[in-house]
Chains A and B, each alone.
Chain A
Amino acid sequence: MADTDERNTGGHFGFAIAPGMTAGNPALKTIVEPRAEPVRLRLPRAPRGTGFDLCVYGATSAFLLLVVGLFIELLWSSRLSISTFGLSFLWTSEWNPVTNQFGALPFIYGTIVSSAIAILLAGVVGVLAGAFLAEFCPQRMSGPLSFVIELLAAVPSVVYGLWGLFILAPVMRDYVDPFLQHYLGFLPIFSGTIYGVGMLTAGVLLAIMIVPTVTAISRDVMAAIPQTQREAIWALGATRWQSFQMVVLPGSRAGVFGACILALGRALGETIATTMVIGNRPAIAASLFAPGYSISSVIANEFTEATTQVYLSALIELGLLLFIISVVINALARVLLWTVFRPMEG
């Protein structure tokens, strides 16, 4: 595994150590405290211009260029809409392609609510499922079960959409929604007519779509926690669950959080599946059973048929808005992590 340089570079500690030298001499062994999270060593840089370093910086720069380019392109293509509607675009509820009056409010609402439902459900279920796979599952089962769950990520959006429309929506309409309305109907979010399609169904479908991402990444992050840590706490008499609670979960917080953000991103940007089950009605309603509309859905629905320039521009401005919403949500999440939990690396 460890490759030693022919040249014995002199190392970073000022003297050369050849393999085998430490054997049998405990004084030369470095004792490193096991830590829950790897600490980045601040090492002097390798000589500038190393090909590898250039590759890394080059790749990162390419990535940055891409994202910035995307933002600029969105901004440029929505300039007509921005100049026509200005800031009122954000709080107007009218979406009328015939009179060319456009406002984004119902879509912003729909995107946020459906994604919130999705990440709440998928976050909880996904982390628990990942924990099961990493911690509690019998060894032999863990591989195949992981595999099955990851396969969910492979199902094309259009299949999710059709399955959602033909299987999930009727189940929601006939069993889940009436149940919720019966017991919790006094809450405004569970009041109103039940259609089967609507905000709640869309949130549930999105949750199903993003849960494999959360599960797979959480599982990997949890599996990477050194076994020594668990053993230490088992030695103190903890149960498996408690070792999970006290050692694994805190240690994998950053990675799990990253998984949730990634999954949330998918939920925000999902187009075809959402549009089959959300009801596609640009209106804001208190009830989760009511139909709604999300930004990605309306773009997917109307972009290919949009005729006037201002219509097209308004749709692209919605895409720009989604970019901004994504920035805001991510920023809030980072702030949350920074203040409530231990600060993240870098």
Chain B
Amino acid sequence: MSLSSHTRRAIGFAAAVALTLAASAVFASTQLTGAGSTFDYPFFSKAFYEYSQQRSDVTVNYQSIGSGGGIQQFIAKTVDFGASDVPMNAEELKLAQGPVLQVPVTLGGAAIGYNLPGIEKGLRLTRQLIAEIFLGRVTKWNDPAIMKLNSGMKLPDMPITVVHRSDGSGTTYIFTDFLSSVSPAWKQKVGTGKSVQWPVGLGGKGNEGVAGQVRQTPGAIGYIELAYVLENEMTYAQVENKGGKFVYPSIETVADAAATKPNVSATEFSIVDATGANSYPISGYSWVMLYQKPSDASRAKLVKQTLEWLVTKGQSVAKSVDYVPLPDNVQKQALKVIAQMQA
């Protein structure tokens, strides 16, 4: 029996469609979207790149539109997950359409960079002294308090020009959290936040702005994200920690601070002024937020798997971009939170 050309064409077409569908089922990859913290961006871009090499069915498009932006988009459900340097507060959680899980994913620290002609790396500063400088109470580099700590250095008679971040940032949050912990005057006068009302100083936009300002202005001091300082060979200070030891900010010292408090949660997340012997006092986490009961089941499964990978195998990527991997005990904690996701 011979089929008419019409029928043959129809069968051929149907077969082609079926094959394409089958093929796309095999080759189709879902693109998950995440948005938020600019701090997380370099780490995420490397980690998700590695992830997509390992899995052909998932790609992740993460864009750094800022932590606030990330939370807004997460609440609006225009993205699959949000990322923020500070966990969502009560007001934001109320706006979210459903219960939210918040997972720590990476760590960072704020280094104190400065520009003193003739002075090398390693200026020693106590925690209270940093607060006094940023409060505007210590105004000259040859102030007796600074000279006492650094008897080996020839400190000039120069005014201190404070530089802080003008844009809202997680680094500012960590820094002001630290200042509030060590200085009651700071806590009362200024407080903690991603943006605050600074008593003194110039504002630089982004790490680039602050670092640029510090590099250009003799006598300047500013706080800058750890990865930035390590990548750009800046001059930064040793900070005295709670145990009395002067430590440099580094991957090890920040991780040490995190390890002292493994039971972090979205309500108890501060690790500044940690008690470890080698802890760097100006450290903090960055977070990813997920819906506990997402509507799209298949997508939810992929999101869950991606996050599980991120807090375990994905952490091996961190050091290569000068980010601090989660200590083991914190990884376990993170996995426990992710496990609550119904997917």
Direct chain A–B contact by Cβ atoms under 8 Å: yes
Interface residue ranges, A against B (CB under 8 Å):
94-99, 161-162, 165-166, 169-170, 195-197, 272, 275-276, 279-282, 291, 293, 297, 300-309, 312
Residue numbers in A under 8 Å from B217 (CB-CB) = 195-196
Q: Which residue of A lies closest to B36 (CB)?
A: A304
B258 at interface, CB cutoff 8 A: no
A165 to B71, CA, bound (A): 31
Whether the Cβ atoms of A96 and B168 lie closer than 8 Å is no
Given A97-B193, A98-B191, A301-B167, are A307 and B71 also a contact pair (CB < 8 Å)?
A: yes
Q: Which residues of B contact A96 (CB under 8 A)?
A: 196-197
Which of A96, A97, A98, A282: most chain B Cβ within 10 A? A98
> What is the minimal beta-carbon distance from B212 to any residue of chain A, in angstroms?
5
User: Smallest distance from the beta carbon of A296 to chain B beta carbons, Å?
Assistant: 12
Q: Are A94 and B202 in contact (CB under 8 A)?
A: no
Q: Which of B116-168 contact A (CB under 8 A)?
A: 161, 166-168
Interface residues of B (CB under 8 A from A): 65-69, 71, 86, 89, 91-92, 161, 166-169, 190-198, 201-205, 208-209, 212-213, 216-217
Q: Is the CB of A305 within 8 A of B197?
A: no
Structural contact, A276 and B205, CB atoms closer than 8 A: yes
- Using CB atoms, name the residue of chain B closest to A274: B205
* B202 / chain A contacts, CB cutoff of 8 Å: 195, 197, 279-281, 291
Nearest B residue to A297 by beta-carbon distance? Answer: B166
Known: A98-B190, A99-B191, A307-B194. A196 touches B216 (CB 8 A): yes
* Contact among B190, B197, B209 with A276 in the assembled complex (CB-CB below 8 Å): B209
Whether the Cβ atoms of A308 and B91 lie closer than 8 Å is yes
A196 and B115 CA atoms in complex are apart in Å by: 15
- Known contacts A97-B197, A196-B216, A281-B202: A305-B209 contact under CB 8 Å: no
Residue of B nearest to A101 (CB): B197
Shortest CB distance B96–A (Å): 13
Q: How far is the CB of B270 from chain A (nearest CB, A)?
A: 15
Q: Of A169, A275, A291, A305, which one neighbours B169 at CB under 8 angstroms?
A: A305
Instruction: Give the distance in Å from the alpha carbon of A312 to the alpha carbon of B69 in the complex.
Output: 11
How close is B65's CB to chain A, nearest CB, in angstroms?
6
Among A94, A272, A275, point to the contact of B197 (Cβ < 8 A).
Answer: A94
CA distance A159 to B202 in the complex (A): 21
> In the complex, are the beta carbons of B193 and A98 less than 8 A apart?
yes
Report yes or no: B91 in contact with A169, Cβ–Cβ below 8 A.
no
Which residues from chain B contact A297 at a C-beta distance below 8 Å? Answer: 166
Q: Which residues of B contact A303 (CB under 8 A)?
A: 66, 68-69
Chain A residues closer than 8 Å to B67, beta-carbon distance = 304-305
Which of B190, B192, B195, B198 makes the CB contact (< 8 A) with A305? Answer: B195
Known: A165-B212, A197-B202. 14 other contacts (CB 8 A): A166-B216, A170-B216, A279-B202, A280-B204, A281-B203, A301-B195, A301-B205, A303-B69, A304-B67, A304-B69, A305-B67, A306-B195, A307-B89, A308-B91
B168 touches A305 (CB 8 A): yes
Which of A161, A170, A272, A303 has most B Cβ within 10 Å? A303
Distance to closest chain B CB from A315 (angstroms): 10
- Shortest CB-to-CB span from B63 to chain A, Å, is 11
Contact B212 A275 (CB under 8 A): no
Chosen A-B contacts, 25 in total, with CB atoms closer than 8 Å, are A94-B197, A97-B168, A97-B195, A97-B196, A98-B197, A161-B205, A162-B212, A165-B216, A166-B216, A195-B202, A280-B202, A280-B203, A280-B205, A291-B202, A302-B167, A302-B168, A304-B168, A305-B68, A307-B68, A307-B71, A307-B89, A307-B194, A308-B89, A309-B91, A312-B68
Question: Which residue in chain A gives the minimum CB-CB distance to B167?
Answer: A301
* A281-B205 in contact (CB<8A): no
Contact B205 A275 (CB under 8 A): yes
B168 touches A195 (CB 8 A): no
Q: Shortest distance in angstroms between B127's beta carbon and chain A's nearest beta carbon? A: 20
A99 to B202 CA separation, bound complex (whole angstroms): 21
**In chain B, what residue has the closest Cβ to A161?**
B205
Min CB distance A246 to B, Å, is: 48
Tell me, in angstroms, the Cα distance from A222 to B161 when the chains sit together.
48
Q: A281 to B198: give the CA distance in the assembly, Å.
A: 8
Contacts of B68 in A (CB 8 A): 303-307, 312
* A305/B89 contact (C-beta < 8 A), A99-B191, A166-B216, A276-B205 known: no
Q: With A99-B191, A195-B161, A305-B195 as known contacts, state yes or no: A281 contacts B201, CB within 8 Å.
A: yes
Contact yes or no, A98 B167, CB < 8 A: no
5 nearest A-B pairs in the assembled complex, by CB-CB distance: A305-B168, A304-B66, A280-B203, A280-B166, A98-B191
CB contacts (< 8 Å) of A196 on chain B: these are: 216-217
Q: Which residue of A lies closest to B180 (CB)?
A: A98
> Which residues in B have their C-beta under 8 angstroms from that of A276?
204-205, 209
Contact assessment for A98 and B66 in the assembled complex, using a CB-CB cutoff below 8 Å: no
Q: What residue of chain B has the Cβ atom nearest to residue A271's Cβ?
A: B205
Contacts of A272 in B (CB 8 A): 205
* Shortest distance from the beta carbon of B28 to any chain A beta carbon, whole Å: 33
Instruction: Give the residue name and chain of the B residue nearest to A272 (CB).
Output: B205
Q: Is the CB of A291 within 8 A of B203?
A: yes
Say whether B92 contacts A169, CB under 8 Å. no
Is the beta-carbon distance between A302 and B212 smaller than 8 angstroms? no
Which residue from B65, B192, B205 sits with its C-beta under 8 Å from A98?
B192
Q: Which residue from chain B places its CB closest to the CB of A291 in the assembled complex?
A: B202
Among A196, A272, A304, the one with the most B-chain Cβ atoms within 10 Å of its Cβ is A304
* A98 neighbours in B (Cβ, 8 Å): 190-193, 196-197
A262–B209 alpha-carbon span in the complex (Å): 29
Closest A residue to B88 by beta carbon equals A307
Chain A residues with Cβ below 8 Å from B191 are: 98-99
Q: In whole angstroms, how far apart are the Cα atoms of A312 and B209 in the complex? A: 23
Across the two chains, which residue of chain A brings its CB closest to B191?
A: A98
Nearest residue in A to B204 (C-beta to C-beta)?
A280
Q: How far is the CA of A291 from the CA of B162 in the complex (A)?
A: 12
B192 to chain A, nearest CB (A): 7
Residues in B with CB closer than 8 Å to A195 are 161, 202, 217
Q: How far is the CB of A304 from chain B (nearest CB, A)?
A: 3
B65 touches A301 (CB 8 A): no
Which residues does chain B contribute within 8 Å of A162, judged by CB atoms? 208, 212
Nearest to A195 among chain B residues (CB) is B202
